[in-house]
Amino acid sequence: MRILFKLIYILVSFGQTILIFRIVLSLIKANLRNSFVSWVYSISDILITPFQGIIAKEIYLDNFKIELTPIIALIFFSIIAFILSELTKTLNKTD
């Protein structure tokens, strides 16, 4: 069971990293035709789809466009990662 929690934790951490990359790339207005940027956006689209429509899609601050959906998804996945981490610690104490 611990191995399953650790595997899911690794996947969630990977998702968090991709979402952070997307947020940063969006802030710096990265070229979407770049292969790395395109890859990050295509992977992160899968992760943020369930959260689209919850709040406004984006806000503008001066010259910066801030996408809110990836931030909401990042918060959600951070909570999931924390819960899995605590479950793993609890299971390690009982063994």
pTM of this structure: 0.83
Structure token digits, residue 5 = 């929690």
Cα 50-55-58 angle, rounded to 5 deg: 100
| Close Cβ partners of 95 (under 8 Å, ≥ 6 residues apart) | 2
- Quick check: 29 and 20 in contact, CB under 8 A? no
54: nearest Cα among 38, 76, 32: 76
C-alpha span between 53 and 10 (Å, rounded): 27
Q: Where are the domains of the chain?
A: 2-94
Give the residues across from 30 on adjacent strands.
Answer: none
Question: pLDDT tens digits for 35-80?
Answer: 999 999 999 999 999 998 888 778 888 877 788 999 999 999 999 8
